[in-house]
Chains A and B, each alone.
Chain A
Amino acid sequence: MTDVSVPTRSAARTDRPRGRERKAESRHPGSKKTMAAMLAPSIFLLIALNAYPLFYAVSQSLRDGGIAGPGEFIGLENYTTALQDPAFWEAVRFTLLFTVVSVFVAWVIGTALALVLRRSFPGRSVFRVLLLLPWVVPVVVSTTSWNFLVATPSSPVPTLLRELGFGDVQILANPGSAMAIVIIFKIWGTVPFMMMMMSSALQAVDPSVEEACRLDGASRWQRIRHVILPIMSKPVYIAWVLASIFTINDFPSVFLLTGGGPVGSTSTLVVFAYRLVFQDFRTGYGVAVAFLITTALIAMSIYFFRRINRASANG
């Protein structure tokens, strides 16, 4: 049983070209109906709960609806409003900062941890499980404890900063430190994901390649930078894309830590859209903003999907 779990990780990459040929052969006589029936439940859900709401959302975004009703058709006005709204652009800026910084830093830390955990040392398997916990613990719970750590002047972190001579720091009342805390929180939650992705990518790296470089006199850093990372470029790419998508779409981390404040400084696009719909009751405008995120994400998904495809075709 233990050995069986290994193929999941390695097979996806190493068996890929062989798997491709294999699939073409896999034709059982009269299999079409069975295959279609097996896909049916997921297709049904995709249409009913994803495709239909998506079209509905498009139509909502073209109306000036509020709580009272769907509203009048106003064409693209909600979109032009968004593009002229400084609060929208502020949300775009923070979303980019939040995503790029947290994904990259979490990747660096996650890769470092994966490299350390690759070789055996006492307690390795325990660390491997414990370090995944920030990802497993519900965000509602972890934001609660982070709130305890930073929210009030008498919380542990502000107290510590005061003792260290930084003076009175109102972490969540100051835009700069609130942004920093939201980003640090997101890094904390993303590192385990990166560690998992990079650990499984490292398993596919042939140890003999590394050994050869070592014998040629490459330093440890050179081996990682010029040999291991290039070999892993496809999984690294996938990890970045998935983590970026998760981060752009992350609602609770920001909403429960800061609510988007102070003065909108930590509002990501998703939080901005949520507040428009559920707090300002500007449904049409809020959905239009959500739809702008959607369009950007679809474009990004298809672009990266193609790139990944090409990377896997070449490698």
Chain B
Amino acid sequence: MTTPVHSALRAGTATPAADRITRKQRRESAAGWAKTAVMSVVTLVALAPIIMILVLSVRSGQTASGTYSWNFSNYVEIFSKTPVLDYLYNSLAVTLGTTVFAVVIGALAGYPMSRLRNRFIGGYTLSLFVVQSLPVIVFVIPLFVVFAKIGMADTLSGVAVIFIAGSMAVTCWMMAAYYDSIPVELEEAAWVDGASLWGGFVRVVLRNSYPGILSAAIFSFLVAWNDYLVATVFLRSQSNFTLPIGLQTYFQQNATDWGPVMAMSVVMLLPPVIVFAVLNRFFSIGGIGGAIK
């Protein structure tokens, strides 16, 4: 995937051989390290609230002398005394369901949005943009009434459906923006060879769109995993709680008991951080700007 030359370039180490380093280059490299030092401080300040979570999650039991013990007892406590595993399972189920559907829908709709140019597509792109910009609360109240009638109010699938509709606009744009970068000549060549429109889409366009698909997947993953409003309105029974609701409920009941609260926070923040850390180089949100046309 990443060639050695590439990573060398990226890390900024592609300088000529050591014996050819001139004074100017040495000065530049000193400036580079100064930048590194400044950015380290900036990053440390920016991440302080997150580092705090990690530190507090392994700190427990203040003794009489005011010292703390450092261990994983907070984690033991939440896993043994709270249904955090159920919350985690519910969150994973809702998030993965949302991601799969939102990406498939976006991958399909993005193609006509990218390749056709007529009034209907223009209007459709505009309505996606408008809907995306409305406050979720406008949709939540009527949907709750409707979902209550058809028995989907307090269900994980009901919540997932709302997340799919909520992230769909952006996944459609992201896919359309990515397809825009694939020359139509590639499909035309496939058509000449007798492929249908669908065949050309699947075999030529989709096959070259993995980075776009991953961007869309990361986006809808984050939307579903991080949501609070929809879940708090729709999920009423504890067995259906997702992590945000579980964490918030636990926080309200044990407000000053920071150790276990932070341990549960770590459980909630790890999946998106891992997904993002592994896949971030595929993630490009800048492209959605280009799809607004």
Contacts and interface: CB of A to CB of B under 8 A. Distances in A.
A298 interface: yes
Given A2-B6, A41-B108, A8 B211 contact: yes
Contacts of B184: 22-23, 25-26
Question: 7 closest pairs, A vs B, by CB?
Answer: A12-B290, A200-B286, A120-B12, A11-B181, A7-B181, A56-B142, A49-B165
B35 A28 contact: no
B265 A141 contact: yes
Interface string A276-315: 0110000100110011011001101110010011001000
B68 interface: no
A136 B222 CA distance: 7
B180 A123 contact: no
A135 to B, nearest CB: 9
Interface of A: 1-2, 4-5, 7-9, 11-13, 15-16, 19-20, 22-26, 28, 30-31, 34-36, 38-39, 41-43, 45-46, 48-54, 56-57, 60, 113, 116, 120-125, 127, 129-134, 136-142, 144-146, 148-149, 156, 188, 191, 193, 196-197, 199-201, 234-235, 238-239, 242, 245, 248-249, 251-252, 255-256, 269-270, 273-274, 277-278, 283, 286-287, 290-291, 293-294, 297-298, 300-302, 305, 308-309, 312
A286 B142 CA distance: 12
Nearest to A295: B134
A2 B2 contact: yes
B134 A297 contact: yes
Contact of A50 (B49, B114, B139, B269): B139
Contacts of B277: 129
Given A2-B281, A8-B177, A290-B138, A131 B46 contact: yes
Contact of A4 (B35, B52, B211, B258): B211
Interface string B154-188: 00000001101100100010000110110110011
Interface in B92-147: 104-106, 108-109, 111-117, 124, 126-139, 141-143, 145-146
Contacts of A298: 130, 133-134
A12 B138 contact: no
Interface residues of B, number: 115
Nearest to A7: B181
Contact of A8 (B9, B178, B197): B178
